[in-house]
Every structure is written in C-alpha cells, then in structure tokens.
Amino acid sequence: MHSTHTHPNSSALQASLEQSVAKERAPFLIGMTADAAGVTFSGAAGEAAPGRPAAVDSVLRIFSMTKAVGSTAAMILVERGQLDLDAPVESILPDFARLQVLTGWNGDQPTFRAPRTKATVRQLATHTSGLEYEFWCAEMNEYLTRTGRPSILTGTRDALNYPLMTDPGTRWGYGISIDWLGLVVQKVSGQRIDAFVTENILQPLGMADTVFEPRPDMAPRLAKIKARGEDGKFANFEINPPPHPEVYGMGHALYSTARDYLHFLRLFLNEGAVDGVRILSKNSVRTMRQNQMEPLKFAPMVTAIPSVSADFDPFPGTVKTYTVGFLRNEADIPGRRRAGSLSWAGVLNSHYWIDPASNVIGVIATQTLPFVEPPFMAAYEDFERAVYA
C-alpha cells in the first residue's frame, strides 16, 4: 500500500481539508486519492479524538461503505457459478417470501398485501427490492415507531424482517437489501458472512484495519463521533454498528481506515486486481461498474429523520443509476467526476468516488451527523474540485 507518485495539486488538496476544518464544516477530515497504480495523495486536518490528529489510519465506522464489500462478496459467488443474480431471493432464503408490502393502517394495526413480483438477488444488490430504511422513508419510520419492531441497527436476525414499501423492481429505494444479500452469501457459501469476507477479500488485500469487531490495539486510533445540534455546533455523539450481533449486516457492519478502503477501491480501476492480488474477474468488475437497474433511475433520498440525514440527491438534475455495488453517474459533472463514475458513502460522512474515465479515486471522510449536511457537502465539493483542477 505504498505511494508511487504524487498528485500534482497535493498542496491545494491539503489546504482544502484544512480550510474546511477551520470553517467548522467537520471536526476533522481525512482525504486520499489514488489512480490505478497507487496512492497519489494522503492528507488530514483536525483532531479525530482529543489530542489525536486525524490520519489515514484513523479507524472509522464506515457504515454503508460496507455495502460495496458485501456486493463484492456476492460477485465472488457469481463468478464461482454458485449464485445467479436473477434468482428469486426466496429460492435461496425461503423466509424472504414472508415479506409483504405495507399498504397502510387499520386503527393501530398495519395492513399488508402480497408483492406482485418476486425480488431477485440483483434487485437486492441495486436497492430495487422494495426494502427501504426508516431514515429516508417516512412510512417505514412510522411502521417501526408504531409497532415497536426492531431497527436493522439492533443486529438481530429478526430485524431483517422489514415490510416491503413497494413491489420489487418498481422503484429505487435505499434500504436493508444488502443485509439480505449478506445472508444470501452466508447461505450459498456455507460460511458466516464475516468469515467469508475476511477470507476472500480483506485478508488477500492486506486490509488489516478493516474488521467487523475492532481489536483492542485499534482503540487508540478510533475516531470520535460528533453530531451538529440545532445551534449549529458539534457535540459528542455515540452510534456504533451493533457489537457481536446475531447477524453481521453487510449494510453497515465494518470498521476501516481511509487507507485500507482506498486500497479496496483500486480493484475497480484495475479490472479486479490490486498489486497482483486478484479478487474479481474483469466480467465481475463490469457488472459492478455498469447500470444494473434498467429502466429505473436513482431517486432522491428525502430524509425522514433530519438529525440523522439531510436530503440526498447528488448532482441534482443529472441522471444516476445503480450498479451491483455503487451509485453510477450517467453524466459528466463539469470540473468534477465524469460519466461512469461510481460512488457511495457511510452515514457518518465517510465518502468515496471512483472515476474510471479520469483514472481517479477519491476518499474524504469524517465521523459526523447529519449525513450529507450542506457544510460537509461543501467540504466534499472543494476537495473534489481540487482533485480535478
């Protein structure tokens, strides 16, 4: 994981991080860039914890950056001929057939109907299965609140039994689909998902700081979380992936570092191999880089819980789709990423993008709520523009 050459605009990238921290857009920021050959910039600003400067090896709760790792695990099984992306989920996990579409309320009781279509593995991977998170779906938030049913972040197997918000294959909706995809990988491989991911992805890539449970030696490097209050100031906050859960959720379970995660992302500029270690075939990388949800499009995420997230519609007015693993930009963004770029993020504002046309990967990360709040997004934009300047 050594640096091979330096981004020509490195001083401006570092200045961008420092200026954003000075403007209180984030308590700390870690920024990295790479191309197919290796790391081109590593920088940080601010303190990840009292008296500990942020660094590329600061340990982050990466939450939904876990999803691309889970999708990679599924593609490994597809390559082995053990998993068909177009198989109905219930053909692998029979209890998925119990999930019904929420239609409303009869007094205090939720009402349901059977789905008109059967969700496929590909629909899990592209967030078109009908499953949606409570954070960006008011109906789902109301359902959990009124029924007292467990949220996915409780870590129980039962927590995966969210009702469907719509028929599979009819709209894009961000949700717990990748947690179900992780269960698919467990069932097909015969291994626990954490063991499968560690053995087939993390260990071969040398990602020693990417773990399902932080090791004691990592504790001093663990970044602190801050949430911005209504007064505009950051205060300490706690939200962690559930420790030692019944089921590791491939939607949220991992801890990692910017350095480790950037190394993983280089797979997608290098046709599935990094520094001589092959994880995926070229065909699998193609599946993970191309739109897999025709004719549907990414739909803006409207917050149901503003303390957790702002609304999210990256590059509004442009078409976005979803691959197995990533959001995909279908249009060039002037001064920024190009069409065919892939991206996603974790809820504590750890973000990344992969731009194959420009041979660029970027990571910019902190540990704050709300997700995609305008001050953070200004820091992200400044950093990205400096990458392309």
Question: What is the DSSP annotation of 172-224?
Answer: ---STHHHHHHHHHHHHHSS-HHHHHIIIIITTTT-TT-BSS--GGGGGGBPP
Q: Are 353 and 32 in contact (CB under 8 A)?
A: no
91 belongs to the catalytic site = no
Residues 216 and 350 in one domain: yes
Q: Is residue 71 annotated as a catalytic residue, yes or no?
A: no
204 located within any domain: no
Same domain? For 270 and 349 the reply is: yes
- Among 64, 177, 256, 358, the one annotated catalytic: 64
The pair of structure tokens assigned to 295 is 């004719």
Our count of domains for the chain comes to: 2
- Given phi > 0 = left and psi -120 to 50 = alpha, else beta, which region is 343? beta
Q: Any idea what the CATH number is for the domain that residue 319 is in?
A: 3.40.710.10
Q: Provide the domain limits for residue 307.
A: 10-65+209-388
Q: Indicate the residue among 123, 158, 189 that finishes a domain.
A: 189
- Pick the catalytic residue: 133, 174, 255, 380? 174
Helices (H), 90-164: 121-125, 138-147
At residue 236, what are phi and psi to the nearest 5 degrees? -60, 145
Q: Are residues 232 and 127 in the same domain?
A: no
Q: Is the dihedral of CA 322, 253, 269, 196 positive or negative?
A: negative
Strand pairing category for 225-228 and 368-369:
parallel
Q: Is there a single domain that holds both residue 290 and residue 374? A: yes
pLDDT for the residue 18: 99
**Domain contains 71:** no
DSSP symbol at 272:
T
Contact in structure between 264 and 205 (CB atoms under 8 Å): yes
Same domain, 51 and 137: no
Same domain for 238 and 348?
yes
In this structure, are 346 and 219 located in the same domain? Answer: yes
Q: Is 174 a catalytic residue?
A: yes
Q: How many other CB atoms are there within 10 angstroms of residue 353's CB atom?
A: 25
Sheet with 368-369: list strands edge to edge: 234-237, 225-228, 368-369
Selected catalytic residue, list 20, 42, 58, 67: 67
Q: Give a yes or no: residue 76 inside a domain.
A: no
Asked if the structure places residue 261 within a domain, the reply is yes
User: Residue 263 domain-assigned?
Assistant: yes
Q: Confirm whether 1 is domain-assigned.
A: no
Residue 82 domain-assigned (yes or no): no
pLDDT of residue 4: 61
pLDDT by residue for the chain (389 residues), tens digit each?
Answer: 444 689 889 999 999 999 999 999 999 999 999 999 999 999 999 999 999 999 999 999 999 999 999 999 999 999 999 999 999 999 999 999 999 999 999 999 999 999 999 999 999 999 999 999 999 999 999 999 999 999 999 999 999 999 999 999 999 999 999 999 999 999 999 999 999 999 999 999 999 999 999 999 999 999 999 999 999 999 999 999 999 999 999 999 999 999 999 999 999 999 999 999 999 999 999 999 999 999 999 999 999 999 999 999 999 999 999 999 999 999 999 999 999 999 999 999 999 999 999 999 999 999 999 999 999 999 999 999 999 99
269 and 344 in a single domain? The answer is: yes
What is the C-alpha separation between 44 and 200, in angstroms, rounded?
30
Does residue 227 sit in the same domain as residue 375?
Answer: yes
Positive or negative: CA dihedral 170, 71, 186, 250: negative
Give the global pTM: 0.97
* Residues paired with 328 in a beta bridge: 321, 342
For residue 294, how many other CB atoms are within 10 A of its CB?
Answer: 9
Query: What is 266-330 written as a DSSP string?
Result: GGGTTTTEETTEE-S-HHHHHHHHS--STT----PBPPS-TTTB--B-SSTTS-EEE-SSSEEE-
- Residue 5: per-residue pLDDT: 83
Examine the domain organization and report whether 177 and 225 are in the same domain.
no
Q: How many helices (H) and strands (E) does the chain have?
A: 9, 17
Same domain, 59 and 96: no
Specify whether 230 is located in the same domain as 376. Answer: yes
Tokens, residue 185: 């990988």
